[in-house]
């Protein structure tokens, strides 16, 4: 039979358990509150930084607008002066011709040609001065355009970083932890056709459909996160029509084995999930300075580039090429793939079976773009 004391002890135990849970919850709530406050502070700082960047871009765009108007006025005045100069030159040449032909010489005042010549010299000097001012204004305008694009690029980079920072980091323990950038070992030379190289070995051939290799189109963001760039639109040479989206669209949401180009070498970086960042900059951004324009052109037009490619691009992108970003999140590291490639490359280098002829590869790329019109130089 249960006693009053027994029941009381049970109630005290239950009360102690609940008190412990409440205290634990209080600790969790305090930690969450601290994390919330930190995130809120970061968000506030990011918003302030973003506003500052927006104000700077706005000021630069206003300055560019004013400078463009000045350029147009200078150009118009220069053309008017040139037209006046052309007319005066025609008059002087006509008078000189009449003078030489001795036709109605009495009707030609002796100092008229001298006056015209002096006036022509003055106009030529003024034209030269205006053209110099116009060249300076154009140079300043070009610099402003670059500054504006750099400001927009920096603003976009902050958005990309904020998005990627919210993603979980890769596993911090072997065998899935990727090596740091400095620890990445080469798996082939940069002039090598990577897909062909993988296809030559049974141990790596199975990875062909899972490779992501975009030379000069990837930039390091932070840690093990990268940003890849693709065009906002692609051109169909068969129909002559444009389609929204890039060659990276089909990768979004999937995981790929990422390879990076480091000047002379190619390195395997790990398994990366592809995230569509296009919604962060719906109209895309200008091509960042460290991204290759020819590589982006390849993605837009295909190889070889079609006839009249410059006009095709200009009609679609009158203000310059636009690109969209794809976030690359490290989710692992395939040691089987890495070991197979690294050992093979080390063996082939030791046996002298591979060479690094980057000039030849560059010429081959250009030949593909121009449809086989590049003349190769034979080594002497």
Give me the CATH number covering residue 107. 1.10.287
Q: Would you say residue 226 lies in a domain?
A: yes
113, 99 Cβ separation under 8 angstroms: yes
Reported confidence tier of residue 290, pLDDT bands at 50, 70, 90: confident
Q: Would you say residue 379 lies in a domain?
A: no
Q: Are residues 144 and 213 in the same domain?
A: no
Does residue 79 carry a pLDDT above 70? Answer: yes
pLDDT of amino acid 204: 93
Does residue 294 carry a pLDDT above 70? Answer: yes
Q: Are residues 4 and 21 in the same domain?
A: yes
Name, in order, each residue with C-beta under 8 angstroms of 351's C-beta and a sequence gap of 6 or more.
none
Q: Are residues 83 and 209 in the same domain?
A: no
Reported confidence tier of residue 366, pLDDT bands at 50, 70, 90: low
Looking at the chain, the whole-number percentage of residues with pLDDT higher than 70 is 58
Does residue 261 carry a pLDDT above 70? Answer: yes
pLDDT of amino acid 226: 95
Q: Are residues 179 and 57 in the same domain?
A: no
Q: Would you say residue 81 lies in a domain?
A: yes
Q: What is the mean pLDDT of residues 129-138?
A: 73
Q: What is the mean pLDDT of residues 358-363?
A: 57
Q: Would you say residue 380 lies in a domain?
A: no
Residue ending a domain, choose from 114, 135, 166: 166
Q: Which residues pair with 243 in a beta bridge?
A: 234
pLDDT of amino acid 96: 63
- Lowest mean pLDDT segment, chosen from 35-39, 73-77, 371-375: 371-375
76-95 b/e with 16+ CB inside 10 Å = b?
Answer: eebeebeeebeeeeeebeee
Q: Are residues 148 and 173 in the same domain?
A: no
Tell me which residue of 311, 316, 301, 312 sits closest to 368, measured CA to CA.
301
Q: Are residues 183 and 155 in the same domain?
A: no
* Domain of 243, in residue numbers: 169-369
Q: Would you say residue 374 lies in a domain?
A: no
Q: Are residues 160 and 193 in the same domain?
A: no
Q: Are residues 155 and 181 in the same domain?
A: no
Q: Would you say residue 312 lies in a domain?
A: yes
pLDDT of amino acid 375: 45
Say how many domains are in the chain.
Answer: 2
Name, in order, each residue with C-beta under 8 angstroms of 123's C-beta and a sequence gap of 6 or more.
81, 84, 85, 88
Residue ending a domain, choose from 137, 166, 195: 166
Region of residue 148 (phi > 0: left; psi between -120 and 50: alpha; otherwise: beta): alpha
Q: Are residues 174 and 136 in the same domain?
A: no
Q: Are residues 192 and 45 in the same domain?
A: no
C-alpha dihedral, 287 to 373 to 312 to 135, nearest 10°:
60
pLDDT of amino acid 282: 84
Q: Would you say residue 378 lies in a domain?
A: no
Q: Would you say residue 292 lies in a domain?
A: yes
pLDDT of amino acid 113: 61
Residue ending a domain, choose from 132, 166, 200: 166
Residue 131 has which token pair? Answer: 């053209």
Q: Are residues 265 and 215 in the same domain?
A: yes
Q: Are residues 210 and 146 in the same domain?
A: no
pLDDT of amino acid 323: 95
Q: First and final CA of the chain: distance in angstroms? A: 108
pLDDT of amino acid 127: 73
373, 367 Cβ separation under 8 angstroms: yes
Q: Give the integer Cα–Cα distance in Å for 153 and 181.
A: 24
């Amino acid at each position: 039979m249960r006693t009053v004391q027994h029941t009381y002890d049970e109630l005290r135990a239950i009360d102690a358990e609940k008190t412990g849970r409440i205290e634990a919850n209080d600790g969790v709530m305090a930690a969450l509150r601290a994390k919330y406050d930190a995130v809120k502070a970061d968000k506030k700082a990011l918003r302030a930084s973003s506003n500052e960047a927006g104000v700077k871009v706005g000021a630069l765009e206003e300055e560019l607008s004013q400078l463009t108007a000045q350029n147009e006025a200078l150009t118009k005045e220069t053309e008017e002066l040139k037209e006046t100069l052309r007319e005066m030159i025609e008059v002087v040449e006509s008078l000189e011709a009449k003078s030489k032909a001795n036709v109605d010489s009495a009707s030609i005042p002796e100092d008229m040609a001298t006056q015209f010549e002096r006036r022509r010299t003055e106009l030529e000097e003024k034209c030269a001065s205006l053209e110099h001012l116009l060249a300076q204004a154009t140079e300043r305008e070009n610099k402003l355009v670059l500054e504006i694009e750099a400001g927009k690029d920096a603003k976009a980079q902050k958005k990309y970083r904020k998005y990627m920072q919210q993603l979980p980091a890769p596993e911090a323990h072997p065998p899935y932890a990727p090596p740091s950038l400095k620890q990445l070992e080469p798996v082939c030379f940069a002039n090598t056709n990577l897909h062909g190289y993988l296809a030559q070995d049974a141990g790596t051939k199975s990875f062909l459909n899972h490779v992501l290799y975009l030379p000069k189109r990837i930039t390091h963001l932070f840690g093990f996160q990268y940003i890849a760039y693709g065009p906002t639109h692609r051109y169909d040479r068969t129909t002559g029509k444009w389609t929204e989206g890039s060659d990276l669209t089909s990768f979004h949401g999937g995981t790929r084995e990422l390879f990076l180009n480091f000047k002379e070498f190619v390195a395997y970086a790990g398994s990366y999930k592809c995230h569509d960042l296009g919604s962060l900059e719906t109209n895309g951004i200008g091509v960042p300075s460290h991204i290759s324009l020819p590589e982006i052109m390849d993605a837009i037009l295909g190889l070889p580039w079609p006839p009249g490619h410059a006009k095709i691009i200009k009609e679609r992108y009158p203000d310059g090429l636009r690109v969209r970003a794809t976030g690359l999140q490290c989710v692992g590291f395939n040691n089987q793939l890495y070991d197979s490639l690294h050992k093979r490359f080390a063996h082939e280098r030791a046996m002298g079976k591979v060479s690094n002829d980057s000039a030849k590869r560059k010429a081959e790329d250009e030949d593909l773009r121009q449809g086989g019109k590049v003349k190769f130089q034979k080594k002497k």
